[in-house]
Chains A and B, each alone.
Chain A
Amino acid sequence: MSELQVNKAEINKIPIGKKILKNDNTYLLTGLILYIVVISMIAPNFATQYNFSVVLQQLVVPAILAVGMCLVMVSGGIDLSVGNLLSLAACFMAFVIYNGGSVFVAILSAIVICVAGNLFVGFIISRTDLEPFIVTLGMMIAYKGLALITTNGAEFPIMGEMGFATSIRFFNFPLMIFIMIAVYILFWFIFRYSRFGRRLYAVGDNPEAAFLAGINVKNFKLLVYGINGLLVALASIIMLSRNEVGNPYLGTGLELDAIAAAVVGGTALSGGKGNIIGTFLGAVWIGIISNSLNVVGVSAFVQYIVTGGIIIAAVLVNSLRSKNA
């Protein structure tokens, strides 16, 4: 019996209750439920179907970006450019539609822009010694400039042209929520059961060892950034569909929401650690904080402090649990 089989057998012997207690996500979920209960007691309007739908709508875009961010971070990188890349893609789509182009062409152009943009980033990161933080910071600024050039600093309203993500509804919930759920199911499967997922953890955890194990680390990282670009394109399509206006500031700050969601969900900035369910819970946390504090009536300025406090608390809890394990 191999060592791996022995370990698996040992894990299977652990009682399910203990397994649940050992799972990082249990604490995130418990905290989330507690938080929802407390807020519901303070503000009865919080726990309504309308607000449930509102919260989900608000977190769709950051949650999709968080999937890509989790992917990049597990591989040992980071991407600060996703927010402004989203703005650029949304502006370009709106520009195309505003000038009489079809929605199909617009969507196609967004996919090309985002995938090409992120492949470029991935190429630099995988082929040079430059830090992903620096490369994507530079691209973040460059994308902002491109978005401003595309729009000439103005906006392109496309009312009624591309509202499908919100207007198409199932069980009274807009389509975009189901798209987000589909993305999470797909990537949960990829992370957990695919060869790609196993390689992802291997590359992030120890790139040298992964290379020696036969993984083409450079190309793998390139692929990771390319997939991230695809997810940014999807997020930009949903964002534009929701707002129906191309604006160079649409994606401002979204990279921080995505990083926060991934980190709160247990993704390590050092790479090699992270999971999709945790990222989803992190995204829900980030999405629910602003909504709940608005519904309760907390000052917009106090909201920043509470949000920051919750992020630090969540990461601290995760860190302490890891050390304790």
Chain B
Amino acid sequence: MKRKLLILLLMVVTLALVVAGCGGGETEDTSSSNGTDGSESSTNEGGTDSEATTEDSGESDDSTEVGYVLAGSDIFYQKGFEVFQGLAEENGWEVTKTTSDYDPKNEINNVQDMIAKGVDAIVLTTVNSSTGSKAAAIANEAGVPIFFVTALPDPNGEGVPDGSVSGPWYESGAGIAELAAAEHGPDSKIILIEGAYGQGIGELHRLGFLEQLAEEWDKTPEQVFEENVVFNQTGGWMTDEANTVMQDAITKTGGDFDFVFVMNEAMKDGVLKAIQPTGKDYPIYTINGQEGTVKQVADGVIEATYSIPPTTEAQIAFQQVKANLAGEDYPVFLKNVAVPVTEETADSPDIRPWLETEKYLEMAKNNETGIDISTMEEAGASDPDWSGQLDLNGAKSN
């Protein structure tokens, strides 16, 4: 009898776990709505926006609901979500977050779940372009608008996004090359610590970097890779992995290189740790623009970075979703902002908060972020073709 009671108790505990889980969810119902996204009131359509926002606030009783599907736990995605959620809450929306753990099948499942949940729109950071396209097709079929942040779906795929804001991955690679070429000559030896292979982001950084250097040094991109790059390997966007790879690079080259281009700032920390024991100061170029790195640039620890904040990206996506739900026209394919950060420009107001989302939301409220999609130009549905870069993945690591 005792055992049966225990079994019954376990059943109740299971259900209680679920109900408790519901209480601990990310979904938050914000009934109060005391304003608009600050940046919008300053745009040319300020009046219209104000009206639309007032209407949105009124409609919040019907609870506009957005499903936000993250590719994984990367801090870039998390910070973007925090800003989107902050702006959405201010507008009286509910946002439900879920994550795909970098798994394509999870992404499809999550998008289907959000449709089943009855959300009004889906924001997706896709695991890869093909899966993104498939997810878009599912949302298209269900009549739910879908918006892509950070990465684009396959432009030749079956699904069509209702909005997208992708990173200027090619452009920032080219920008780093421009900064590096200003300091280093055509005989320079370069180490590339690259992002996870196959996603396209690392490959686009490299493509932009090689093409721009080729232009600066009057070579072909192939020549730059063959003659100047002495080591390239992925650090998987991770500090530890980049640390190991950089140690390998130092061993392989015997320390004979002129500068390092490391494609994100988490990996940059690993590169710095690997370089420290050599006692030398190698110039390091990186991408992200987090607050700590901007300070390192100002202090001369890092040569330069490129500020591509998730905060601005999220605000752009938010404005697209808002315009779509309000039935307004808006540019569908947009690129996030990219600002070069050097010792001279490290205190520029154009460098927006990256990690400090509360500060960014405060700026948005005060109309200080400078983000307004109505003034932005369509960027096109696709990035430059990077398929040829696949053969160069890790090619100089042996």
- Tell me the total A-B contact number using a CB cutoff of 8 A: 168
Contacts of B109 in A (CB 8 A): 54, 58, 290-291
Chain A positions 275 through 301: 1 when the CB is less than 8 Å from some CB of chain B, otherwise 0: 000000000000000111111111110
A1-57 at interface with B (beta carbon < 8 Å): 27, 30-31, 34-35, 38-39, 42-43, 45-46, 48, 50-51, 54, 57
* Neighbouring A residues of B127 by C-beta, 8 Å: 249
Residues of B within 8 A of A (CB): 3-4, 6-7, 10-11, 13-15, 17-19, 21-22, 24-27, 70, 94, 96-99, 101-105, 108-110, 112-118, 127-131, 133-134, 154, 156-158, 197-198, 390-391, 393
Name the contact of A154 in the complex, choosing from B13, B104, B158, B198 (C-beta under 8 A): B198
Encode contact with B along A108-144: 1 for CB under 8 Å, 0 otherwise: 0000000000000000000000000000000000000
Residues of A with C-beta under 8 A to B391: 152
Across the A-B interface, give the 10 residue pairs with the lowest CB-CB distance, nearest first: A297-B27, A294-B113, A245-B130, A157-B130, A153-B197, A51-B116, A154-B198, A153-B198, A300-B99, A298-B21
Q: Which residue of B lies closest to A38 (CB)?
A: B15
Residues of B within 8 Å of A153, CB to CB, are 197-198, 390, 393
- Please tell me if the beta carbons of B158 and A159 are within 8 angstroms of each other in the complex: yes
8 pairs from A and B in contact (CB 8 Å cutoff): A35-B18, A39-B18, A155-B130, A253-B101, A294-B96, A297-B25, A299-B24, A305-B17
Question: For the complex, is A190 an interface residue (Cβ under 8 Å from B)?
Answer: no
Tell me whether B10 and A45 are in contact (CB under 8 A). no
- Residues in B with CB closer than 8 Å to A297 are 22, 25-27, 94, 96, 117
CB of A309 within 8 Å of the partner chain:
yes
A79 within 8 A of B: no
By secondary structure, the A interface counts as helix
Give the residues in chain B near A320, CB-CB below 8 Å.
Answer: 3, 6-7
A64 close to B (CB within 8 Å) = no
Cβ-based interface call for A185 (8 A):
no
B370 to chain A, nearest CB (A): 32
Cα–Cα, bound, A48→B112 (Å) = 13
Docked complex Cα distance between A152 and B18 (Å): 41
Write out the residue numbers on chain A whose beta carbons fall within 8 Å of the beta carbon of B15. Answer: 34-35, 38
Given known pairs A58-B109, A153-B198, A247-B131, the reply for A310 and B14 (CB within 8 Å) is: yes
A interface residue numbers (CB < 8 A to B): 27, 30-31, 34-35, 38-39, 42-43, 45-46, 48, 50-51, 54, 57-58, 61, 151-155, 157, 159-160, 239, 242-245, 247, 249-250, 252-253, 290-300, 302-303, 305-306, 309-310, 313-314, 316-317, 320-321, 323-324
User: Which of A243, A252, A296 sits near B108, CB closer than 8 Å?
Assistant: A243
Chain A residues lying within 8 Å of B10, measured Cβ to Cβ, are 313, 316-317
Closest to B12 in A: A34
Residue in chain B with minimal CB distance to A309: B17
Query: What is the CA–CA distance of A268 and B206 in the complex, to the nearest angstrom?
Result: 51
- Tell me whether A306 and B18 are in contact (CB under 8 A): yes
Chain B residues lying within 8 Å of A159, measured Cβ to Cβ, are: 130, 133-134, 154, 156-158
Contacts of A61 in B (CB 8 A): 105
Given contacts A35-B18, A155-B128, A300-B70, 5 further A-B contacts (CB under 8 A): A31-B14, A154-B390, A159-B157, A297-B22, A317-B10
Cβ of B116: which chain A residues have Cβ within 8 Å of it?
45-46, 48, 50-51, 54, 291, 295
Least Cβ distance of B29 to chain A in Å? 10
| Chain B: CB-nearest residue to A50 | B116
Q: Are B393 and A152 in contact (CB under 8 A)?
A: yes
Q: List chain B residues, Cβ under 8 A from A27.
A: 7
Interchain CB contact (< 8 A) of A247 among B6, B18, B22, B128: B128
Question: Do the beta carbons of B158 and A160 come within 8 Å of each other?
Answer: yes
- Bound Cα distance from A44 to B35, whole angstroms: 31
Nearest CB of chain B from residue A287's CB, rounded to whole Å: 9
Of B11, B110, B134, the contact of A34 (CB 8 Å cutoff): B11
Contact across chains for A245 and B19 when beta carbons are under 8 A apart: no
